[in-house]
Amino acid sequence: MITCNGNGSFDTLVIGVDKHMRALQYIPKEDQPALRTFLQERPDVLHYTSLYTFRSANGTKVHTYLLVGLDDKPVQYSTYEDFRVARRIMAAAIKENVRELALLLDTLEMDAPSLIDGLLYRNYEFIRYKTQTEPRLVKNINLITQSLQTKELNSMCYVYSSVYEGIYLARDLTNMPSNDLSPRKFAELVQELCKSDKIQVESLNKWSLEKKGMGGIVAVGKGSMNPPQLVTITYKGDPDNANMLGIVGKGILYDSGGLSLKSHAGLEFMKDDMAGAATALGVIRALMLLKYPVNVVAVLPLAENIPSGMSYRVDDVITMYTGKTVEIKNTDAEGRLVLADAVAYAQELGATRLVDFATLTGACVTAFGTVRSGMLGNDQEWLNRVFSAAERVHEKVWQFPADKEYEDQLKSEIADIKNVGGPAAGAITAGLFIKQFVKDDVPWIHFDIAGTAFNEKKDETGLFGATGVGIKTIMELLRSMATK
């Protein structure tokens, strides 16, 4: 829980320190001489981005301070740096087994939203499968201030806490092993979580998908003993408004590559290939708490891409939900197939704008690494609007080009299109494949989160595994829609 000027108890107090020693006036008088002497002897602790744990003992009392250096802070800097420092503060608190953390905001000189964002971003762990590990999360965070409005800060804390409820849910699901999260189990979980008078949930099983002619989802899921599902979650926060945002999330619960089998190295972490679906569900979870007056339909195509005698094959031609035919040239290019049926269905359900999230291509990782998500779309104004929302909440994205020449790479000799465009510009052609199933008058954006959805190695703060990327962007977008 995070609050402003709440419970006065704490294990550790976070303060900003510089050569002027102004922060000393905020701490107990008995600790001031020792801290002053320490800072005079260790000027390196005062340098911007420095973090240091200091303990002051007086009799039987030991006070712990986390010192945040402020000297030589750039005059012009991005609030993203405050977000990064806040993540490091939380990582240091977790390392020290802090349960009650207090921060003296008036000493820190940090952007309050970025600080709250960074603290909550890092206050996460996934220990469900560790049998002898105790939780190490910070239970309570108290922001102490005399200069800022308590009511406004508490409101901000509630908004960020609600958004992170969705992010933590998405991380938990993405971190779960595939043997514990089949398409059916995911669908059942959605039914359990999404109980609200503003929400309707529909689940389509394999037979319903076949009957509807959703050839992409059916083909990808054919090889697995766990049949595919399509789950739709409709949130009606403004029933009288015809506008509806469609969020489509790729939900491949495990991706072996199918008959185009991945290498051993390529198979590792493929449990995260449903991160897009987790993002979509995370948005709905946050909406249930914040109750924004907006309309959203989340469409989650869920399947396992597993080789067997029933699997779809290279050179197959399948018929998609729209009737368009697709020649299969690589069964490991399966995500775009399930997404194509799902975006078509989202439009049928009333989506007037679309965003899809998918761990889609290694080519995106090659282009942007693990720093930025890739995006492309069919409407520049919509792209600019979403890009701005992402920048405001510290989610890094970058736009791919979408020239017509790239679409030409998808032409097939025997079908309407093929599912791969060749070795060149793979992230672009993958996104443009999905575009073939989006109506011209529906603004659409594709996010490739292959490099940003999952930390395969610990980041600078020690966070490993799923990130829940994309949820903050969409919630910021919906917030701006709700206030207009």
Residues 246/349, Cβ–Cβ less than 8 Å: yes
Evaluate whether 45 touches 69 at the Cβ level (below 8 Å).
yes
Provide the CB-side half-sphere exposure for 183 (13 A, CA): 29
334 is in an annotated binding site: yes
User: Which token pair is 3?
Assistant: 């609050």
Please indicate if the annotation marks 411 as binding a ligand. no
| Three-state DSSP state, 408 | helix
CA nearest 463: which of 7, 211, 96, 88? 88
Q: Known binder of ligand: residue 250?
A: yes
Name the helix (H) or strand (E) containing 431: helix 426-435
- The whole-angstrom separation of Cα 93 and Cα 11 is 10
Q: Which residues make Cβ contacts (< 8 Å) with residue 60, sequence separation at least 6?
A: none
Catalytic residue among 262, 324, 385, 479: 262
Q: Verify whether residue 222 is a known catalytic residue.
A: no
| Alpha helices (runs of H) in 49-111, residue ranges in sequence order | 79-95, 105-108
Cβ proximity of 264 and 256 under 8 Å = no
List 87, 122, 171, 336, catalytic entry: 336
The three-state secondary structure class of 194 is: coil
Active site residue 285: no
Q: Is 341 annotated as belonging to a binding site?
A: no
Q: HSE-up of 228 (CA within 13 Å, CB side)? A: 34
- The answer to whether the annotation marks 255 as part of a ligand binding site is yes
| Binding-site entries | 250, 255, 273, 332, 334
Q: Known catalytic residues?
A: 262, 336
| Binding-site entries for Mn(2+) | 250, 255, 273, 332, 334
